[in-house]
Amino acid sequence: MFYFLALLILTTSWWLPWWSCGLFSFFAGLGCKSHKGALGVGFLGVFVPWFMVIYYLDLKAYGRIAEQLAALFSLPSSSAMMLMTSALGGIVGAVCSEAGYLWRNK
């Protein structure tokens, strides 16, 4: 389930809005068998692809965008900005995946 969710988010994150990861995570949560599994699939299934996309875009921009955003939010480095953004997406994925799991088991 993790690989399917990660591949789906990695391929669609270029043209769909950011909240579409929550929708995909919800449907992934429908297929999970436990709370921990739903949380893990949702978090890692969004965190990993988002980090890959952010890292790729940062490389394309020679690190300027992440550095400017890190300075805007008073973060110590651009890496912290990339990790914080990916973690936020992971939290959205985990909550939506858990909601899908709970929807199936109500």
pLDDT per residue over 19-71, tens digit each? Answer: 899 999 999 999 999 999 999 999 999 999 999 988 998 888 887 888 888 88
Task: Report the predicted TM-score, pTM, of the whole model to 2 decimal places.
Answer: 0.88
Question: Based on C-alpha coordinates, what's the Rg of the chain?
Answer: 15
Instruction: Determine the number of helices (DSSP H) and then strands (DSSP E) in the chain.
Output: 5, 0
In the chain, the amino acid numbered 24 is: F
CA distances 47 to 21, 71, 89, 105, Å, are 10, 22, 6, 25
Cα distance between residue 90 and residue 47, in whole Å: 5
pLDDT-based confidence at 78, cuts 50/70/90?
confident
DSSP string, 5-24: HHHHHHHHTTTS-TTHHHHH
Mean pLDDT, the chain, whole residue set: 89
